[in-house]
Amino acid sequence: MPLTEFRKRIEGQDLMTDLTARPLNLRWERLCLLVCLLMGLVNLIARSFQMNPDGVSYLDMSDAWVRLDWQHGFSLYWSSLLPMLLGLARVLAPVSPSREYLLFHLLDYAIYAFALLLFRLFLRQLVAMRAERAEDDEFPAWLLQLSGYLIFLWTSLSFTPVVNASPDLLVNCAVYAAAWLTLRLSRDPVRWGDAVALGLTLGLGYWAKGAMFFIGLVWLAVVTWWPGGRRMRVGSIQAAWLAFACLCLPLIAIQSRMAHHPTMGETGKLNYS
């Protein structure tokens, strides 16, 4: 680097821009990931033989999927995706009934680790966007990443513990993936693949928990009408909505047949009755 350019970077604002835009060192990022994984493992070990009543119901529903009895594998109240995954885990790793609780918690830990991976993708995308915009921000990029991992750890272990035996961890995965894909679309609005993946992700979120159907509708509406979304091709927007509908409509049809009336699930009605 020429001496004049070096002096300019030292005396001007280029140095401050480099300091604030510099991402977390890869070694430190790996350390953050390792700490998150170890804390989740500690949470698992400390309560590995505990199970809440919801978890027992999901184990009962997974019996139907082990038998490939799809008629009894769905429920108007419980998550549809979690017992599917639990049934698959029981087929791939058959265990005695006394070990089913532990297998359930190991599945929860795998979902937790996957949520961490998706959160890392989202956080990296966010840092890259800030660096591209070269905003005059006094909040350093490395501090943003470090704060992000601390917030992930706090929210995951406090509100959605690894041994919670609920679909909340799957919802975390859907939200982190949707946020990552939304940021990618904001950088390149003509990505067909990302638009389809966004619709599928929100649709899977509905299979994980009924409330995600309405969140998915609002999410796609915002993506469609926000300033960045208006630059998306009409085909990309339609592809996102179509992918969302393709995953949601079969579950709506199944639950409507079970309830004998159109419904997206009876969770809210049963909780507030």
Neighbour tally for 45: CB within 10 Å = 12
Question: Which pLDDT does position 186 carry in this prediction?
Answer: 82
- The whole-model pTM stands at 0.85
Collapsing DSSP to helix, strand or coil, 236 comes out as helix
The mean of the pLDDT values for the chain is 83
C-alpha radius of gyration, the chain, whole number = 22
Looking from the CA of 81 toward its CB, the CA atoms found within 13 Å total 25
Tens-place pLDDT, residues 171-215: 999 999 999 999 988 877 667 889 999 999 999 999 999 999 999
Tens-place pLDDT, residues 20-77: 445 667 888 899 999 999 999 999 988 877 888 888 889 989 999 998 887 788 888 8
Task: Tell me if 195 sits within 8 A of 185, measured CB to CB.
Answer: yes
Tens-place pLDDT, residues 88-144: 999 999 988 888 889 999 999 999 999 999 999 999 999 888 877 665 556 677 888
Task: Tell me if 239 sits within 8 A of 196, measured CB to CB.
Answer: yes
Nearest to 216 by CA among 193, 243, 194: 243
- Residue tagged 């993708």 (tokens): 121
216-225 contacts: CB < 8 A, separation 24 or more?
A: 216/244, 216/248, 219/178, 219/182, 220/244, 223/182, 223/185, 223/198
CA distance 210 to 192: 26
Question: Which pLDDT does position 238 carry in this prediction?
Answer: 86
Phi, psi of 31 (to 5 degrees): -65, -40
Task: Tell me if 111 sits within 8 A of 170, measured CB to CB.
Answer: yes
AA letter at 65: W
- Residue tagged 């840092």 (tokens): 127
Task: Tell me if 228 sits within 8 A of 207, measured CB to CB.
Answer: no
Question: Which pLDDT does position 98 carry in this prediction?
Answer: 83
Q: C-alpha 155: how far from its chain's center?
A: 13
Is 155 a residue whose pLDDT tops 70? yes
pLDDT category of residue 261 using cuts at 50, 70 and 90: confident
Q: Which two tokens stand for residue 107?
A: 């599945």
- Contacts with 229 (C-beta within 8 Å, 6 or more apart), sequence order: 185, 189, 222, 223, 237
Q: Which two tokens stand for residue 69?
A: 């009895």
